[in-house]
Amino acid sequence: MDKINLQETIKNAKSGSQIAYSKLLHHFWNEVYGFQLIRTENENDAEDITVQTFSKAFDKIATYNNAYEFKTWLITISKNIHIDLIRKRKRTILQTASSNDVIKKVLDDAPSAEDQLITEQNLATLLQHIKKLKPHYQEVINLRYFNELSYADIAKELNEPMNNVKVKLLRAKKLLAESIKKK
């Protein structure tokens, strides 16, 4: 396509001619695609960027200034799209990296196998001490700390006034503490 035909085709494209768009696409596709293939070293990215380049160029063709080469204008658009893509990927990588840091922190807070073993051993020891208490103290501790019932729910369960439950629980904790200290 010579310079006069190119200027006429661009003029027709500015008027909305689909045939002119098609001519420009076919004439400059390989140059833009080749430029991006060298930059990205990836055929899929080069093709995607080339498609976006022509889409953006055709949307903004009214802003094209005839004082500049059309090819240069397309390459500039293509280069800017590639830069935007790189920035977007870097942002995504940074966001993913910070999410992974959060995940690692959560995972790091999880008890290790040794911590879990110690906890289980302590729980087993605690249960042995609870079994030494009188049955009504065992029951109130079980309802409060293992079933996680409120004082009101324990009072309903035992059919006793809430103050009695509080006193029983306090007495049970005191006896339990004494039993553990003796050991």
**pLDDT tens column, 59-79:** 999 999 988 899 999 999 999
Whether residue 130 sits in one domain with residue 80: no
Q: Which of 107, 127, 143 is the last residue of a domain?
A: 107
**CATH code at position 142:** 1.10.10.10
Residues 129 and 153 grouped into a single domain = yes
Tell me the CA distances in angstroms from 71 to 41, 80, 126, 138, one per residue in order: 21, 14, 81, 86
Q: Which residue, of 56, 80, 107, is where some domain finishes?
A: 107
Give pLDDT tens digits for 134-158.
898 889 888 988 888 888 999 999 9
CA distances from 52 to 34, 39, 62, 83, 178 (A): 15, 15, 17, 13, 77
Which of 30-39, 119-128, 147-156 shows the lowest mean pLDDT across its residues?
119-128
Q: By residue range, what is the domain housing residue 16?
A: 3-107
Three-class SS string for 74-130?
Answer: HHHHHHHHHHHHHHHHHHHHHHHHHHHHHHHHHHHHCCCHHHHHHHHHHHHHHHHHH
Q: Are residues 64 and 147 in the same domain?
A: no
The structure's pTM equals 0.52
Whether the CB-CB separation of 76 and 56 falls below 8 Å is answered with no
Give the CATH number for residue 15. 1.10.1740.10
Q: How confident is the model at residue 98 (pLDDT cuts 50, 70, 90)?
A: low
Domain tally for the chain?
2
